[in-house]
A and B are shown apart, each in its own frame.
Chain A
C-alpha cells in the first residue's frame, strides 16, 4: 500500500510543526519520493538526529510501506523563513 505525497507531507508537518516540507514524486509511481525538510528546530542537531526525527514522524512506515524516500534535511538560511 503506497503513500501519497500529501500523506507524507502531512505526517512530517504534524510531527515537526516548524518544518517546510517539499515532496517530489520521483518516478511518478507513488512509490519513490524525495523529501526536503527545512526546519529551524533542526539547528544544533546532527544529520542523523534530523533524519531520525523525520523517520519518527512517518511512524515506522519508512522502510516498510514507504520504500524509497530520498531525504534531505536543512536548517533555514537567513531569518525570513
Chain B
C-alpha cells in the first residue's frame, strides 16, 4: 500500500463518522453482502458516506491491507474498523450496532 492511498483512506475514515467501503452505490449495490450492509445502515437511520471500490481499484486493493480484512464491504465508525457485513448483521440483531452509534454520538441521516 502506497503512502498516498493510505492518506486517502485515513482522510475518508477521519472526515466522516460512518464510512462503508462497498461494491456499487447505496442505490445500486453490486453484491449481496454490500446490499445487506446498506440495508442495516438505512434501518439504523444513521448518516453515512459510501465508497464504491469498484470505481477505485487503488482503494479496492489497499483497504484490505489497511483493515487487515479480506472482503468488502467494510464498515468504519469514527475512524475505527467495525467489521464486514456478517459482523454488522450479528451486531445489528443483538442491538449492539445501534448502541455503538449512540455511544459514538453518530448523527442521524439528514
B86:A63 contact, CB within 8 angstroms: no
Quick check: is B103 within 8 A (CB to CB) of the other chain? Answer: no
A51 touches B68 (CB 8 A): no
Q: Are B71 and A63 in contact (CB under 8 A)?
A: yes
Contact of B81 among A48, A64, A68, A71 (CB under 8 A): A48
CB proximity of A71 to chain B, nearest CB, Å:
5
Interface size class on chain A is 10 to 19
A72 touches B86 (CB 8 A): yes
Closest A residue to B81 using CB positions: A48
Of chain B, the residue at the smallest CB distance from A35 is B86
Taken together as a complex, chains A and B put the C-alpha atoms of A72 and B91 apart, in Å, by: 11
Chain B's closest residue to A55 (CB) is B70
Bound-complex Cα distance A62 to B90 (A):
19
